[in-house]
Amino acid sequence: MSSSYDCVIIGAGMSGLAAGIRLAMFDKKVIIVEKHSISGGLNSYYSRGKRKFDVGLHAMTNFVTAQERGKPFNKLIKQLRIPYEDFKLHPQKYSLIKFPEKELRFNNEIQLFIEEINTNFPEETDGFLKLLDFIKTFDEVNLSNQTQMAKPVVKSFINNESLLEMIFTPLLIYGSAWENDMDISQFVIMFKSIYLEGFSRPEGGVRTIINILLKRFEECGGEIKFNCEVTRVNSKNNRIESVEVNSNEIINCQTILSSIGLPETFEIIDNLENSNHKPRVGNLSFCESILMTDLKPKVLGIDATIIFYNNRPKYLYQKPQTFFDSESAVVCMPNNFDHDEFNEGILRITNIANFDLWNKELNLSKQAYKDKKEEVYKQSRLILEKCGLNSSHEVIFKDIFTPTTIKRYTGHQNGVVYGSIDKSRNGTTPINGLYICGTDQGFLGIVGSMLSGISMANLHVLSPQNSGGLS
């Protein structure tokens, strides 16, 4: 390995890979260092026997056709010079927000959601249409936007508490680091990416995306090193000089883009005497049961692609007091996209979970931890029944992951998926030359984190004087 680079990117998740491509494309000497043996980060994959599983991917947000120019996904692939067709995207059929009293369906055309709101909450249709106008004109990617909570803003358009909760449910669980609310810019990003653009799945799952990114990075001449953990960021006179990897090797560099999270990055900076601000670690983590069944979900009574299940009048998006919250979940059926590549049925049930309790249990006894995972599985079977799955099937394989699994494989403290509640929207840190990209820059999800990697590479490495936009 050469010992001096224009840029070291810490982490080979979606944001790090996208940033790496952008820099390598413009002949920057760039290396991505990843502590694991594979890339993908929060959105990775694994195999059990002959079966292949995605860790993160339920669905990709921001679905657009190749012709819809100017939309985030098409801007992103234009910046990376990757053909649209390579992703082999298949749109969702429809998704369902399922509350005790009401259900709302939505798909990749906003019209269905408007009709469902009109049928279930006729007195709110006008307010919802006004909310849509507000969202369409909001500049959510402006890096100087200040943090402001979204619920009070949305309440000025929507009076019915139940509808308000239903609108927020998919947006919170697919993209909020904050409990029970989210920043208004993040709300608009998520609203556009889920309700106005929608869900799709790449054929082959997350491996397809990762392989495309890795191939493009290598084609552009970038270097990547696996099993290579950054153990320290060295600075002098408040400017970065190098990173130390695996506690013994030094890589000199001009800039660093860190995708590992804001608190996690602060932890490895050698001396931070100029900073009295320590970013807070988030609270929201998840456990997930993955079931393979002999029959497919559609045959068993579920034809929705994703169900946002909530069994309370209000949706509690917060760290539960118990190991996991069994009264709410996201239930994803990878078979129920426009194209079904699987021979078996797959059902994924994701619950909000408490990292501290899982971590304590794991440290106390492996058996107790295993037993708890069985409880998650049992509850997920009950949730599936409530979502309409009939019992005439056999579960041929199951796997359960918990917040401690997320921490082990991604390094995110508390097993958080959406990072810290303190974001660095312009990517800067107290150390010159050290920048944040990905989740804690504020853009998350698969598409969001890639956009973040590109815009931070543009802004801080390619042309530090420009705005970092994605024209």
Ligand X SMILES: Cc1cc2nc3c(=O)[nH]c(=O)nc-3n(C[C@H](O)[C@H](O)[C@H](O)COP(=O)(O)OP(=O)(O)OC[C@H]3O[C@@H](n4cnc5c(N)ncnc54)[C@H](O)[C@@H]3O)c2cc1C
Binding residue for ligand X (CB under 6 A) from 22, 28, 35, 460?
35
Binders of ligand X among residues 353 to 372 (CB under 6 A) are none
Binders of ligand X among residues 271 to 300 (CB under 6 A) are 286, 288
How many chain residues are in contact with ligand X, going by CB under 6 A?
A: 37
Binding status of residue 455 toward ligand X by CB under 6 A: no
Binding residue for ligand X (CB under 6 A) from 21, 57, 158, 214?
57
Binding residue for ligand X (CB under 6 A) from 61, 289, 402, 404?
61
Q: What HEC string does the chain produce? A: CCCEEEEEEECCEHHHHHHHHHHHHCCCCEEEECCCCCCECCCCEEEECCEEEECCCCCECCCCCCCCCCCHHHHHHHHHCCCHHHHCEEEECCEEEECCCCEEEECCCHHHHHHHHHHHCHHHHHHHHHHHHHHHHCCCCCCCCCCCEHHHHHHCCCCCHHHHHHHHHHHHHCCCCCCCCCEHHHHHHHHHHHHHHCCEEECCCHHHHHHHHHHHHHHCCCEEECCCCEEEEEEECCEEEEEEECCCEEEEEEEEEECCCHHHHHHHECCCCCCCCCCCCCCCEEEEEEEEECCCCCCCCCCCCEEEEECCCCCCCCCCCCCECCCEEEEECHHHECCCCCCCEEEEEEEEECHHHHHHHHHHCHHHHHHHHHHHHHHHHHHHHHCCCCCCCCEEEEEEECHHHHHHHHCCHHHCCCCCCCCCCCCECCCECEEECCHHHCCCHHHHHHHHHHHHHHHHHHCCCCCCCCC
Residue span binding ligand X (CB under 6 A) among the ranges 14-22, 126-134, 154-162, 274-282: 14-22
Residue span binding ligand X (CB under 6 A) among the ranges 52-60, 98-106, 161-169, 421-429: 52-60
Binding residue for ligand X (CB under 6 A) from 103, 229, 294, 375?
229
Shortest Cβ 150–ligand X spacing (Å):
19
Binding status of residue 210 toward ligand X by CB under 6 A: no
Closer to ligand X by Cβ: residue 292 or 417: 417
Binding residue for ligand X (CB under 6 A) from 31, 166, 212, 230?
230
Binding status of residue 13 toward ligand X by CB under 6 A: yes
Residue span binding ligand X (CB under 6 A) among the ranges 6-14, 156-164, 272-280, 455-463: 6-14
Binding status of residue 58 toward ligand X by CB under 6 A: yes
Binding status of residue 33 toward ligand X by CB under 6 A: yes
Closer to ligand X by Cβ: residue 163 or 190: 190
Residue span binding ligand X (CB under 6 A) among the ranges 35-43, 45-53, 219-227, 379-387: 35-43
Binding status of residue 10 toward ligand X by CB under 6 A: yes
Binding residues for ligand X, rule: CB under 6 A, are 10-16, 33-36, 41-43, 56-61, 229-230, 259-260, 286, 288, 406, 410-412, 417, 438-439, 444-446, 449
